[in-house]
Chain A
Amino acid sequence: MGGLQKKKYERGSATNYITRNKARKKLQLSLADFRRLCILKGIYPHEPKHKKKVNKGSTAPRTFYLFKDIRFLLHEPIVRKFREYKVFVRKLRKAYGKAEWTGVERLRDNKPGYKLDHIIKERYPTFIDALRDIDDALSMCFLFSTFARTGKCHVQTITLCRRLTVEWMNYVVTSRSLRKVFLSIKGIYYQAEVLGQLITWLVPYQFAHDHPTDVDYRVMATFTEMYTTLFGFINFRLYQTLNLVYPPKLDSKAESELKAEHEEDYAMDSESYLEKLSALSASLARVVATAEEEENQLDLFPTEGEDQENMQAREKEQKEQEAQKRLFEGLKFFLNREVPRESLAFILRCFGAEVSWDKSLCIGGTYEVTDETITHQIVDRPDMDKQYINRYYIQPQWVFDSVNAQMRLPVEDYFLGTTLPPHLSPFVEEKDGDYVPPEKLKLMALQRGEKPEEEEEDDEEEEEEDEEEDDVDDEELTEEKNLKKMEGTRAQGKTLAVKVTPGKVKPWETGSVGNKVRLEQEEKAEEKRLAIMMMKKKEKYLYDKIMFGKKRTTREVSSLRCAPNGCKATHFKFEWPSQSPDLNLILRCCGRT
């Protein structure tokens, strides 16, 4: 036949991938440097489709990188810097060993450093790309800014993280882009919509960290190095879009006020400036002095049919958002010293409220407790000695729940010393067949504009008392009530895309008709059963898997519905349009070595 004999593993997928060790050797880097490079450049391993082919016939577990990725790393200027640094360390060690202190000093002065600007530009060619990927950077910077300034990482990193996070919060306050907040047991989640991108970040509660020993802080520091650079550039750009001065400066008016007050208390101007900024109580200076933000109206285009509906929906959404931005406008809050000042001040300022706190708590409080115009005082203690009549004393959860509900919730449930209603996650979107907690249903009703009937609540309580007496009656009653409620919601709930039907099937009253229907159902079920018998093996496997998953979800929902802790079981079934096929990315955690 002629021709050269084809050799194995010299073409195809075997040449597209490279193992980690080979890549490291090609780059002539130590493992630590290689990892650092991967972190900075955003290179990650790939899972080849045919592992055995790529692994040259072996089945040993290996990490594979794309060969193109590694080739791309070859010309990275930072690699040279890494080598320079290595040489620097060697020289320094030698100088130390010889006790040449002038040499040490000289070396120190010429310590090689590197910048990550070009990497950021390369990884995120457009600003929106960068903004899309900022979630992790935010969470990481917020975490680092809470670290104590001892050990673990450089003080400069911590101060830089603090500075950047304060800048970010100031931006969010000024642009009023906060959308959702959530108090979890891990920390406080915030979600903001910046230039159309939803950005979520998590801030830990303000406690000293118990530093774990099984965490490699060098990895985290490398990530933070990259994130701070990215974050700084993003902040710069964001400030630019709002015509704000970067690095941020306080408004001249506010600055003078603050200065007058606190001149004696703070020694150094440079130190206190960041604190003044982080107080979030004053607005920022702008490059171009503008009047108040003008309303940006959506231009109206002549449209037809569906487009028009879409347009209307968009307009409505826009209106809602505008309303949400002004949620707390006109209200005057005072924060007691036991509530988390920074997060509450941040949230309240994001929605246009005026906030103040005790002067001894933090710099930047603008009015005293004694101010008569205060409308709400946020308190997190069981009781207060001295109370003013003309203000509400509420617990902090009210602020969070109100923001999530996009409306000022009735304050009665959140008064001083009352048991709080459950705090729900605003990030959960219930799909077909999911469990909806009753509190959420109530909230949805409130949002639609229904008043929660006090009588009803009373009734419920009574019912609960009655329950022991006659269960059967009670069940029927609640069911009827549910039905009524459902009808009510159906009549009004055009905005809501859910259809509610009673889930319980009543026993068939008319015998013959019922029997016929049942027979038909049985027949259909049997048909299905027989058809399932004729399925191919592969399809049967898939089908069984899908059905197993479905059964599991329904089991979970039912277990939540009749949880022993749960109070009211609901018999509602929600029907949503079925979801569209989606492309899912799965981060495989198995290959971590």
Chain B
Amino acid sequence: ARPGSVLHPPGPVLHPPGPVLHPPGQALLCTPPTRPGPALYSTHQARPCSVLHPPGQALLCTPPTRPDLVLHLYSTHQARPCTPPALPSQDIRNTVGNIPMEWYQDYPHIGYNLDGKKIFKPIRNKDELDEFLDKMENPDYWRTVHDKTTASDIRLSDEQVDLVHRLQKGQFGDVNFNEYEPSVDFFTNEVMIHPVTNRPQDKRSFIPSLIEKEKVSKLVHAIKMGWIKPRKPKETTPQYYDLWAKEDPNAILGRHKMHVPAPKMRLPGHEESYNPPPEYLLTEEERMAWEQQDAEDRKLPFLPQKHSCLRAVPAFSRFIHERFERCLDLYLCPRQRKMRVNVNPEDLIPKLPKPKDLQPFPTTMSLVYIGHSSLVRSISASPTGQWLVSGSDDCTVRFWEVNTGRCMKTLEVGGAVKSVAWNPNPAVCLVAVCFESTVLLLNPGLGDRLVVSSTDQLITSYEPPEEDKEQAVTWALSEGPEHDNGHRLTLTHPKAVKQVVWHGKGDYLASVMPDNSSNLQVLIHQVSKRRTQNPFRKNKGLVQCVSFHPLRPYFFVATQRYVRVYNLIKQELTKKLMTNCKWISSMAIHPGGDNLICGSYDCRLAWFDLDLSTKPYKMLRHHKKALRGVAYHKHYPLFASGADDGSVIICHGMVYNDLLQNPLIVPVKVLKGHQITHDLGVLDVTFHPTQPWVFSSGADATIRLFT
């Protein structure tokens, strides 16, 4: 209760901020009527219970232990209770002190009362609506004050309102206070004749200071000598002079030679004009697109605009931005010298011999062999070049005359034909056909009678050996109507056969039964002895196709990713070719025997030079879709590849006898003709044995001859 301090403003008694005149140091005696025993409170430590009324007349007293007691106001002069201005039913003063009440935001209580009990927040806060209703309905709303410390509303009494009014006007809180008390002079204004002290003045106050004189004379001397000069006014305007008066034209930049000068700003084009030609203005859609683009993606950093006259041109809103960005570019952007390649695209195209000079090769489609009703999986030409055999998914094998396109013979077999192969020996007329798990050897009976009959004789002249060996395949001779149809031998395999291929001599025959789990994938049959053997003991992956070397006793096996070359006599692996393809689909061997091509389902064709390396000599990515068939020509330096994109690409592939010279590969013709059905295009290609012609069979059930 120091003078001037405000005590508990939200309490039941409002202490006016007027001067408190009660002499400090006095103790107040306060005796609550209901409690025995007096309590002494120092006015210095009037906390927590006593409040001094303005001029020391009244004292509000609350016993610390009984906050629920009715408050009494005592006049210190009269020492009797007077009526308090407003009496709340309960004293819920908060003892937390003058703290931000937000600290209690997250608690259910708001502080502690004088007993140390929690003061709880009202259960329901007033919302806007309550506030509004209160405002409308409560006649005392205007005199209600919210007390943050106790979270309660207090209605101000008339006296309090009066007090507030007085304070607002800047008057004293107390009504009775006299602002204009008569003044009392503490000090007289009359000069007294006797001094307070009678000490005579010092001598030093009469004589000038020597030290100061010395200092001044030093300064005077310094000024005279010109040591101290008055402060020069600062130059604010910069001084310019001829900076490059003694320039050295050969002087390199002070730093180093790696300096990259900043590029100049781009010069404006027509579209930046205030009145551009109309074609440079953006159309409505372009403008919309421009607005939707990110600022970085925009091709023009501004919208071209047309103004009818110079007067109408507004300020460019991004001017300062652009200058600022330029500044940033100048000092923040890493600079790098870049050589821009200025290549003539024509120079990039490799210089190849002209296809015209590499003739002959098939150029036009001349015949279409129509007859099959489903996709034609496989075709093969007879060694004389007069006949063509084709196997299709419609379970038929058809024999065609090449020159006329006539279907000479149609044979029904018991399943979709996977592969056909004409015996390459011209003295034998035999065709191997495979479907399901059967390989059928047919004698079509076409061509030279002598050959046909000698073939039959060859088959019938077989004499079974004395001791019968257990074989993987059962050989059966056809008889009756089947014999009349041309069936000669039936080889029943344990599994489905995918491919058959003849050895160049025409006596051996290999069949492929792809199966990932066993070593019985490839079988080699000898027709004259009706013998079958399994060349491999181990399974080295899913076999895709096999092929015989045309001259030497080598055997090529293509698994999914590699091509293995086995020596059949030594019975060992001689080479393993890495194709770099994901999945090999077909393979063909150059008639010279030193080169090999592999087609793959990932659109690539790999050319291997067996003398060179086990990696492809060249990878050709000519086709757009998976390759299905590849073939070499027997005599001409040609090879062909057919793919699912419906095209057959003929390449000139010249192999030189000189070992130093690498093969020359030039694509010479793209042949198109097959329609794509069910995403399949060309399924097999094969060359005519003597002419530069190519046959292709497709998924559109046709066979086409390109000459």
Contacts and interface: CB of A to CB of B under 8 A. Distances in A.
A397 B241 contact: no
B407 interface: no
Contacts of B666: 530, 534
A340 to B, nearest CB: 7
Contacts of B268: 182, 184, 186, 189, 425, 427
Given A204-B315, A566-B277, A591-B333, A425 B270 contact: yes
B269 interface: yes
Interface string A207-226: 10111101110011001000
Interface in B220-271: 231, 234, 236-238, 240-244, 247-249, 251-256, 258, 260-265, 267-270
Q: Is the contact region of chain A dominated by helix, strand, or loop, or is it mixed?
A: mixed
A439 B277 contact: yes
A183 B310 contact: yes
Nearest to A381: B311
Interface in B314-353: 314-317, 319-324, 326-345, 348-352
Contacts of B240: 232-233, 235-236, 246
A424 B237 CA distance: 41
B273 A133 contact: no
Contact of B338 (A380, A532, A585): A585
B323 A143 contact: yes
B272 A63 contact: no
Contacts of B255: 68-69, 72
A186 B316 contact: yes
Nearest to A127: B244
B272 A425 contact: yes
Contacts of B351: 531
Contacts of B234: 109
Given A425-B272, A583-B340, A47 B335 contact: yes
B342 A579 contact: yes
A422 B310 contact: no
B237 A216 contact: no
Contacts of B341: 542
A215 to B, nearest CB: 5
A260 interface: no
Contacts of A419: 308
Interface in B20-45: none
Contacts of A45: 332-335
Given A423-B275, A592-B333, A236 B238 contact: no
A184 B272 contact: yes
Nearest to A524: B354
B272 A136 contact: no
Given A186-B272, A186-B302, A205 B244 contact: no
Interface string B536-577: 000000000000000000000000000000000000000000
A420 interface: yes
Contact of A133 (B261, B315, B317, B319): B261
Contact of B270 (A124, A139, A428): A428
A530 B319 contact: no
A160 interface: yes
Interface stretch (B118-126, B168-176, B211-219, B279-287): B279-287
A267 interface: no
A396 interface: yes
Interface stretch (A114-122, A278-286, A449-457, A496-504): A114-122
Contact of B316 (A139, A204, A220, A236): A204
B278 A565 contact: yes
B335 A185 contact: no
A560 B279 contact: yes
A44 B352 contact: no
Interface in A310-362: 338-340
Nearest to A592: B332
Contact of A236 (B241, B262, B668): B241
Interface string A455-480: 00000000000000000000000000
Contacts of A397: 275, 310
A117 B243 contact: yes
A220 B324 CA distance: 7
Contacts of B248: 125-126
B502 to A, nearest CB: 33
Contacts of A57: none
A21 interface: no
Given A215-B324, A235-B240, A236-B241, A185 B274 contact: yes
A530 B668 contact: yes
B355 interface: yes
B622 interface: yes
A281 to B, nearest CB: 21
Contacts of B667: 530, 533-534
A143 B318 CA distance: 12
B333 A587 contact: yes
A539 B348 contact: yes
A530 to B, nearest CB: 5
B332 A593 contact: yes
Nearest to A225: B238
B665 to A, nearest CB: 8
A592 B260 CA distance: 17
Contact of A160 (B237, B244, B336): B237
Contact of A143 (B258, B269, B319): B319
Contacts of A424: 270, 273, 276-277
Contacts of B332: 44-45, 63, 591-593
Contacts of B263: 585-587
A444 interface: no
Given A64-B334, A584-B338, A532 B273 contact: no
Contacts of B349: 528, 531-532, 535, 543
A236 B244 CA distance: 10
Interface string A527-571: 111111111110100110011001000000000110111110000
A80 B276 CA distance: 53
A152 B339 CA distance: 41
A148 to B, nearest CB: 13
Nearest to A20: B332
Nearest to B315: A207
A425 B276 CA distance: 9
A66 B252 CA distance: 18
A185 B305 contact: yes
Nearest to A65: B334
Contact of A396 (B243, B310, B319, B331): B310
A486 B443 CA distance: 76
Contacts of A236: 240-243
A565 B340 contact: no
A563 B284 CA distance: 12
A47 B260 CA distance: 11
A38 interface: yes
A531 B353 CA distance: 9
Contact of A232 (B238, B320, B342): B238
A145 B596 CA distance: 79
Contacts of A209: 315, 319-320
B350 A531 contact: yes
B265 A205 contact: no
Interface in A424-451: 424-425, 427-428, 437-439
Contacts of A427: 267-269
Given A185-B316, A419-B308, A535-B348, 8 more contacts: A35-B331, A109-B231, A232-B240, A422-B275, A529-B670, A534-B667, A537-B621, A588-B334
Interface of A: 35, 38-39, 43-47, 63-64, 66, 68-69, 72, 109, 115, 117, 120-127, 130, 132-133, 135-136, 139-140, 143, 156, 160, 182-187, 189, 200, 202, 204-205, 207, 209-212, 214-216, 219-220, 223, 228-229, 232-233, 235-237, 240, 246, 338-340, 380-381, 395-397, 419-420, 422-425, 427-428, 437-439, 523, 526-537, 539, 542-543, 546-547, 550, 560-561, 563-567, 578-589, 591-593
10 contacts: A39-B327, A44-B262, A45-B334, A117-B243, A183-B274, A183-B275, A210-B317, A565-B280, A585-B260, A591-B332
